[in-house]
Structure 1
Amino acid sequence: MNKLDAQARSQILHMLCEGQSIRAITRIMGISKNTVAKLLSDAGEVCAQYQDEALRNLTSKRVQVDEIWSFTYAKEKNVPAAKSAPEWAGDTWTWTAIDADTKLVMSWLVGGRDSEYAMAFIDDLSRRLANRVQLTSDGHRAYLEAVEGAFGGDVDYVMLVKIYGTSPDSAKGRYSPAECTGARKETIEGNPDPKHVSTSFAERQNLTMRMHMRRFTRLTNGFSKKVEAHANAVALHFMYYNFVRIHKTLRVTPAMAAGVTDKLWEIADIVALIEAKEAEKPMVRGPYKKRGTLIR
């Protein structure tokens, strides 16, 4: 069986991390779509596992959380009429938590947007922190019970509720965003510093995700067909963002700024993780089914 060498793997992963679609990579590299998809799956699994172990005992001071929308297989309104729609077809939300100082994305979760996912996400975030933090979220009410259950009173938590009105440009097209006419700060727990009540970094990270993952780009056919592939792409993206890509303002990677690592990673280091994982796997004969996971 032919196997991609480390240089080819590095090139493919780099293109995936910079927003190239799988089909575009197959045309550039002259390889099959299944080969790229298999590499993405392998990379996503090792990246999720590595960051799950590495992003612990973080000494963050200010954390911002947010959710970003995408969809799998078909948009929610089209799922009933879709042919052979899988169980996870429709809206797919990615929850993210970012350190406002180091810009490290310390926790994320792919799934729905209900209270069950909110509790799983915030619980995972709380277990990665080594000290009390100031936490800012938007006005999504699912955060209230989730933060109370995960942190109790050991957090300075505030909601930034934005107020939207009709944009003067809304008549120009259906995709014109609503205009933010104001914001209201609601202190929920503790004594948060009003100067640092913001979700700007979390919202900027949403833009980074849309620009660096083809399946998050709006109004294209680059969306995820399977939710497992969506979760793998997110894990690879955050490995690249946290460990490989130098932050323009910090001049180091977020992982270096947060003290998680003391070196600048390269794509080749991610490939090395994949190869190390492959070396651990026993030889499997006959058909088998690999079980995927949605929660990191």
Structure 2
Amino acid sequence: MAYLLDAKHKSSYLMGMNKLPLAKRVQILSLLCEGSSMRTISRVVDVSINTVTKMLVDAGETCAELHDEMVREVRASRVQCDEIWSFCYAKQRVAKTTGNADAGDVWTWTALDAETKLIVSYYVGDRSSESAIVLMDDLRSRLANRVQLTTDGHKAYLEAVEGAFGDDVDYAMLVKIYGDIPEAHKGRYSPAECVGARKQRITGNPDKAAVSTSYVERQNLTMRMSMRRFTRLTNAFSKKLDNHMHALSLYFAFYNFIRIHKSLRVSPAMAAKITDKLWSWEDIIARMDARETPKPRGPYKKRGADNSN
């Protein structure tokens, strides 16, 4: 007996057949933000690596939209900015030999509210002044009031902060002073010892006692521990830049909305009063499902059916 389904019913039918159970989807997203590699997740959850990748892409796009929509009109007092290094496909020194345009160093720029620990803004790019400008313009658009801003001594921040804020900011740089690298440590992965820091006023009247990047640097450590692709001195690096960016969008949504901050006892988003509830992975998945727009197709027809009527 022949049967027909219109495009809407066919899409719903296929979606119901192919979608993972909610518990497995929650488990995949949770593991992605707890330091597990994608292939580890594939084995633990017993799904294909393509399924994990598809979940990462869908969740990353959804979480990027969530951040852009929700993290607005943030009332902060002290904002700290920093950038953290990683790489995609290959390190910079051999990137040109790979033939991959995305290969090389990747820098993640972040702006964090020191009081609520909210990641107000982030950007993935290189370490140039153009990337700093993008971060600062985005940060300015998300703030509801004048803030005290602290960055490290990276010169790219100077032009970026001036262009985004003008004089409407109390801005200072924390310039760290490093000693010489011991001869025995040269050529190894061992940064020079920080022997001091200089607080330098740039714009406005920043409180010298509050000039610090400690919180955002601690957040960098959390990122390295929470995302496998940020782990140093291993083969756990991003192979595709797009997936790297999706992983970051997923992580920042998890950090801001789902994860309870140990010292605050609420999520950073709740502390910043941009939401009144603790979000869950089920909330993220609901948004993922809501943004799915099935492509219109012709009627579903059983193979071998007589379609003359």
How far the C-alpha of 1:73 sits from its partner, in A, is 0.8
Aligned to 1:26: 42
How far the C-alpha of 1:176 sits from its partner, in A, is 2.2
Aligned to 1:221: 235
- Please say if 1:50 is aligned against 2:62: no
Q: What percentage of residue pairs aligned between the two structures are identical? A: 62
- Please say if 1:251 is aligned against 2:269: no
The 5 Å alignment of 1:3-18 reads 3-18=19-34
The 5 Å alignment of 1:189-208 reads 189-208=203-222
The 5 Å alignment of 1:1-296 reads 2-82=18-98, 84-85=99-100, 87-166=101-180, 171=185, 174-278=188-292, 281-283=293-295
Aligned to 1:294: none
DSSP 3-state at the match of 1:13: helix
Instruction: Give the distance between the partners of 1:171 and 1:96, measured in 2 at CA.
Output: 30
Q: Which segment drifts farther, 15-24 or 263-272?
A: 263-272
What is the RMSD computed on CA atoms of the aligned residues? 1.6
How far the C-alpha of 1:172 sits from its partner, in A, is 9.2
Instruction: Give the distance between the partners of 1:48 and 1:31, measured in 2 at CA.
Output: 25
How far the C-alpha of 1:182 sits from its partner, in A, is 0.4
How far the C-alpha of 1:168 sits from its partner, in A, is 6.0
Q: Which segment drifts farther, 168-177 or 105-114?
A: 168-177
* Pair 1:137–1:170, CA change in 2 (3 A): farther
DSSP 3-state at the match of 2:174: strand
DSSP 3-state at the match of 2:80: strand
Instruction: Name the aligned partner's letter for residue 162 of structure 2.
Output: E
Deviations 1:149-172 (A, max 9, x none): 000000000000000113669639
Instruction: Give the distance between the partners of 2:219 and 2:71, measured in 1 at CA.
Output: 18
DSSP 3-state at the match of 1:262: coil
Aligned to 1:293: none
Deviations 1:180-239 (A, max 9, x none): 000011100000001100000110010000011111011122211111111100000010
Instruction: Give the distance between the partners of 2:92 and 2:239, measured in 1 at CA.
Output: 13
How far the C-alpha of 1:93 sits from its partner, in A, is 0.4
Instruction: Name the aligned partner's letter for residue 285 of structure 2.
Output: V
How far the C-alpha of 1:78 sits from its partner, in A, is 1.2
Work out whether residues 169 and 176 of structure 1, in 8 Å CA contact, stay in contact via their aligned partners in 2: no
DSSP 3-state at the match of 1:242: helix
DSSP 3-state at the match of 2:153: coil
Instruction: Give the distance between the partners of 1:78 and 1:173, measured in 2 at CA.
Output: 17
How far the C-alpha of 1:58 sits from its partner, in A, is 0.6
TM-score by length of 2: 0.88
Work out whether residues 170 and 177 of structure 1, in 8 Å CA contact, stay in contact via their aligned partners in 2: no
How far the C-alpha of 1:270 sits from its partner, in A, is 1.0
DSSP 3-state at the match of 1:282: coil
Q: How many correspondences in the alignment?
A: 282
DSSP 3-state at the match of 1:250: coil
Instruction: Name the aligned partner's letter for residue 185 of structure 1.
Output: K
Q: Give the 4+ runs in structure 1 shifted more than 6 A.
A: none
Instruction: Name the aligned partner's letter for residue 36 of structure 1.
Output: V
* Pair 1:190–1:172, CA change in 2 (3 A): closer
Question: Runs of 5+ in structure 2 lacking a partner?
Answer: 1-13, 298-309
Question: Runs of 5+ in structure 1 lacking a partner?
Answer: 286-296
DSSP 3-state at the match of 2:123: strand
Instruction: Name the aligned partner's letter for residue 64 of structure 2.
Output: A
Instruction: Name the aligned partner's letter for residue 195 of structure 1.
Output: A
